[in-house]
């Protein structure tokens, strides 16, 4: 049993390392152009955002529409610090400071608002994100509506990879610990959870703060990759975008969120060549997916190696049939 988990762990590690090395090689031989790299960055940032929102909404069952607000705090904090101290340590400090500030705000706001349930919480978090946006719009240090221009790009594939993999691994571990199960029990039945000794307020706040922290990291990565940030980038629509990824991937499925972030980015970049109908096709695709899989791509299940084995065996049946036909 122990050996099995060890082998699994090694397999995962090798898979991660391979992903990193392959993309890095493709980049260093200039096979991937800037446009593809930007898509990869978007995917990584969206994965961090979606997985962390999934922790709040999919696992803990707290409907939040304020994720873009936490993201913007990370983005602005990191941008401001990089502009003062344009160096790698500046970037790292800015990134973590942004994440910590987002987490702090999550704590201060979460404590009173997480008493609200369902749609009421959604409205409250929506209001929070709007307040943050308006504040950034009016502050001098954030340069108001014109936004900030960051001259140096520190976010590269290495940092994107480290923080994306880190976020996913930490959140997955958390979900598979006793504390994570406490969060899930709140989603399942809050009254029963409380009666079984779970401090529901504590775990709602924990999920909210952890999610906000990760959103802050995503924001920081964004600002130092795409050079330019303005308050409008982190409005209501951005929160909805993240929610769409989570719902499409499946509430309560980490691998679903990753898959959906990937699929949506690919779809939207493939549609770049049809600018007139791009958003229409995108929306129709969303509607179709939701009609045929209302529980999301993965439901609440996780992608696993055994699943691939199953798919493989189905495939081999088809293969044999084809061979017999000939």
Partner 1 sequence: MSILAVNKLTKSFGGLTAVSNVSMELNHGELVGLIGPNGAGKTTVFNMLTGIYVPSSGDITLSLRGKNIRLNGKKPNKICKEGVARTFQNIRLFKDLTVLDNVRISMHKNIRYGLLHGMFHSKLHSVEEKKLLDKSVELLSILKLDHKKDELAKNLPYGEQRHLEIVRALATEPSLLLLDEPAAGMNPAETAKLTEIIGWIRKNFDLTILLIEHDMSVVMRICERIYVLDYGIVIAEGSPDEIKANERVIKAYLGEDMRNA
Nearer CB in complex with partner 1: 110/231: 110
Nearer CB in complex with partner 1: 100/198: 198
**CA dist 276 → 64, 115, 208, 280 (Å):** 32, 44, 38, 8
Our finding on whether 111 is near partner 1 (CB under 8 A) is no
Query: Least CB distance from residue 253 to partner 1, whole Å?
Result: 12
Nearer CB in complex with partner 1: 137/170: 170
Residues 182 and 193 sit within 8 Å (Cβ to Cβ)? yes
Residues 244 and 85 sit within 8 Å (Cβ to Cβ)? no
**Given candidates 195, 291, 292, 325, which one binds partner 1 under the rule CB under 8 A?**
195
Query: Least CB distance from residue 177 to partner 1, whole Å?
Result: 3
Query: Least CB distance from residue 215 to partner 1, whole Å?
Result: 16
Q: Where are the beta strands (DSSP E) in 100-189?
A: 148-149
**Given candidates 197, 275, 324, 325, which one binds partner 1 under the rule CB under 8 A?**
197
Nearer CB in complex with partner 1: 181/278: 181
- Subset of residues 298 to 317 that bind partner 1, contact rule: CB under 8 A: 300
**CA dist 186 → 90, 190, 215, 228 (Å):** 39, 4, 22, 39
- Residues 6 or more apart whose CB falls under 8 angstroms from that of 109 comprise 125, 128
Nearer CB in complex with partner 1: 118/319: 118
Residues 203 and 196 sit within 8 Å (Cβ to Cβ)? no
Build a one-symbol-per-residue string for 244-283: x at contacts with partner 1 by CB under 8 A, - elsewhere: ----------------------------------------
Of 126, 168, 130, 170, nearest in space to 253 by CA: 168
Number of residues that bind partner 1 (CB under 8 A): 26
Build a one-symbol-per-residue string for 151-190: x at contacts with partner 1 by CB under 8 A, - elsewhere: -------------------x--xx-xxxxxxx-xx--xx-
Distance, in Å, from the CA atom of 91 to the CA atom of 256, rounded to the nearest integer, reads 30
Of 60, 40, 28, nearest in space to 262 by CA: 40
Query: Least CB distance from residue 301 to partner 1, whole Å?
Result: 11
Taking the CA atoms of residue 190, residue 203, residue 165 and residue 230 in that order, the dihedral angle to the nearest 10 degrees is 100
Residue 165 neighbours by CB distance under 10 Å: 18
Nearer CB in complex with partner 1: 55/261: 55
Positions that interact with partner 1 (CB under 8 A):
170, 173-174, 176-182, 184-185, 188-189, 191-200, 206, 300
């Amino acid at each position: 049993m122990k050996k099995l988990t060890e082998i699994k762990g090694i397999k995962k590690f090798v898979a991660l390392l391979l992903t990193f090395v392959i993309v890095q090689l493709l980049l260093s031989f200039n096979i991937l152009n800037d446009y593809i790299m930007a898509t990869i960055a978007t995917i990584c940032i969206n994965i961090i955002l979606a997985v962390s929102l999934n922790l709040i909404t999919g696992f803990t069952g707290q409907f939040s529409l304020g994720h873009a607000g936490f993201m913007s705090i990370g983005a602005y904090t990191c941008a401001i610090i990089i502009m003062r101290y344009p160096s790698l340590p500046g970037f790292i400090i800015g990134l973590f400071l942004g994440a910590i500030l987002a987490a702090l705000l999550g704590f201060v706001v979460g404590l009173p608002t997480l008493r609200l349930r369902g749609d009421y919480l959604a409205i409250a978090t929506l209001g929070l994100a709007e307040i943050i946006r308006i504040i950034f719009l009016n502050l001098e240090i954030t340069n108001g509506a014109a936004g900030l221009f960051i001259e140096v790009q520190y976010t590269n594939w290495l940092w994107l990879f480290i923080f994306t993999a880190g976020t996913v691994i930490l959140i997955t571990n958390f979900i598979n610990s006793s504390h994570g199960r406490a969060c899930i029990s709140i989603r399942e039945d809050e009254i029963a959870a409380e009666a079984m000794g779970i401090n529901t307020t504590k775990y709602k706040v924990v999920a909210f703060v952890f999610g906000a922290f990760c959103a802050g990291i995503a924001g920081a990565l964004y600002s130092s990759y795409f050079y330019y940030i303005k308050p409008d980038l982190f409005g209501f629509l951005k929160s909805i975008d993240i929610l769409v990824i989570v719902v499409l991937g499946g509430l309560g499925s980490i691998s679903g969120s990753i898959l959906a972030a990937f699929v949506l980015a690919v779809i939207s970049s493939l549609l770049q060549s049809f600018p007139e109908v791009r958003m229409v096709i995108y929306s129709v695709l969303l509607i179709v997916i939701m009609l045929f899989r209302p529980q999301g791509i993965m439901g609440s299940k996780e992608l696993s190696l055994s699943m691939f084995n199953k798919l493989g065996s189905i495939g081999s049946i088809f293969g044999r049939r084809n061979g017999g036909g000939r």
